[in-house]
A and B are shown apart, each in its own frame.
Chain A
């Protein structure tokens, strides 16, 4: 085991994890950002050996990808492995093994559930009459409580567990949490749809035609999924252009 990493350097690595996607690219994806985030920890470990530092930076700049909020798990665990003196291949294999799960877990928990769920809550409150600034405050406070909690937990658990972090992830049951959050998100989505229908200035006051067209749009989204998004947005844009042209020619 090498000399430990100073708490200040650990904090630096954690803070840098917020910028881990800054140089995202199709070749190494998070690789370069990962190496940049690791730098304070690696400097602390290899302070007397410039060649070792360069070599470790080079291997951490290799291809890597994960959900940005969960990348801290891999950062913490990789630092732990480096501190334990694990060989380059061990560190490389570990990162290869965790990148898939950290990507898919994060995508389904954060991007597909937590973010749209909290958005839906803020939108429902807005359409129910809460001022825009208050809805934004609710959104930012609730979303970032989860966001920061996940990042802090991830980095801590990664650094404390090292290569055993997978076991801790299983115990945390993030997939189960996602399923439970989905139920809440559905209830909030229903609340939003109801608010869009019933609110003053909403669909009910726009008239039956728009209410029926919106119901049709909802069904199209429900059955066609993400394939429907671009055509729907394009249809709205084309309708706006046609109506404006018609208005100009009148």
Chain B
């Protein structure tokens, strides 16, 4: 039952990425918390979501670009962690999420090519109103199915991998988080570059950083 719920969750959240609404409930931070509640791992879910959010900070669904799919990746990462234990759970879940994000992104591209073929073969004929409705809603249904399949395959494989490998992880929790934040820091650097770079904003950036360090110490 839980795996069915997780697959439906993956499908629904995948829809939010591009097809329906785009209210950004598909962002890793949100997905991590939601999936954590479903699999009864709220703290781990939020931690995985926060780390993947940092990685995917500079990844967004612009037009035809290929982007890692954060929604299914996070559902897979969090749901795979359920039942596993040890300091290896977090890094292995994040690694799995990063890989599954790429696979999810590839499946979005595949779906879009499929939509292209269907539209291309009919575009020169006079469209009936019904055809437009069926094709459009059919494409949304297909996207839901895609998201669910990507999620369920990831969770099945991920659970096997995490349960058998998490005990072999050689680093402690602080070093594991350190390793994961090294990759996340690259995204933070990319975002600062996107915003105009360090030279343009150094005063604001450094002020924010000082506030962050002070806040982290005293809050």
Are B137 and A22 touching (Cβ within 8 A)? yes
B88, B201, B204, B215: the one within 8 Å of A128 (CB): B215
A229 within 8 A of B: yes
Task: Give Cα distance in the complex from A221 to B198, angstroms.
Answer: 12
Task: Give Cα distance in the complex from A188 to B193, angstroms.
Answer: 14
Are B119 and A25 touching (Cβ within 8 A)? yes
Q: How far is the CB of B154 from chain A (nearest CB, A)?
A: 14
B57, B180, B207: the one within 8 Å of A190 (CB): B207
Give the total of B residues in contact with A, Cβ under 8 Å. 107
Task: Give Cα distance in the complex from A96 to B37, angstroms.
Answer: 46
Are A140 and B23 touching (Cβ within 8 A)? yes
A78 within 8 A of B: no
Are B211 and A190 touching (Cβ within 8 A)? yes
Give the total of A residues in contact with B, Cβ under 8 Å. 109
Q: A185 — nearest CB in chain B belongs to which residue?
A: B195
Q: A197-B212, A236-B95 are in contact. Are A228 and B178 (CB under 8 A)?
A: no
A135 within 8 A of B: yes
Are B29 and A206 touching (Cβ within 8 A)? no
Q: How far is the CB of A35 from chain B (nearest CB, A)?
A: 5
Q: A207-B174, A229-B187, A250-B170 are in contact. Are A193 and B179 (CB under 8 A)?
A: no
Q: A65-B63, A123-B50, A240-B91 are in contact. Are A28 and B27 (CB under 8 A)?
A: no
- How many CB-defined contacts (below 8 Å) exist between A and B? 361
Contact with B along A113-147 (1 / 0, CB 8 A): 10110011011101111011101100110011001
Q: How far is the CB of A160 from chain B (nearest CB, A)?
A: 24
Q: How far is the CB of A169 from chain B (nearest CB, A)?
A: 19
A232 within 8 A of B: yes
Q: A182-B195, A182-B196 are in contact. Are A28 and B123 (CB under 8 A)?
A: yes
Instruction: Find chain A residues with CB under 8 A from B50 CB.
Output: 123, 126-127, 132, 135
Stretch at the interface among A3-11, A86-94, A212-220: A212-220
Are B24 and A143 touching (Cβ within 8 A)? yes
Interface of B toward A, CB cutoff 8 Å:
18-25, 27, 29-30, 32-33, 36, 42-43, 45-47, 49-50, 53-55, 57-64, 68, 88, 91-92, 94-95, 98-99, 112-113, 115-116, 118-120, 123, 126-129, 132-133, 135-140, 143, 165, 168-171, 173-175, 177-198, 201, 204-217, 219
16 pairs, A vs B, C-beta closer than 8 Å: A23-B136, A25-B118, A32-B115, A119-B27, A119-B53, A132-B47, A193-B212, A194-B211, A195-B216, A206-B175, A217-B185, A221-B186, A221-B188, A221-B191, A233-B183, A244-B169
Given contacts A128-B212, A247-B170, 8 further A-B contacts (CB under 8 A): A68-B18, A123-B54, A197-B216, A201-B174, A203-B181, A221-B188, A236-B180, A240-B179
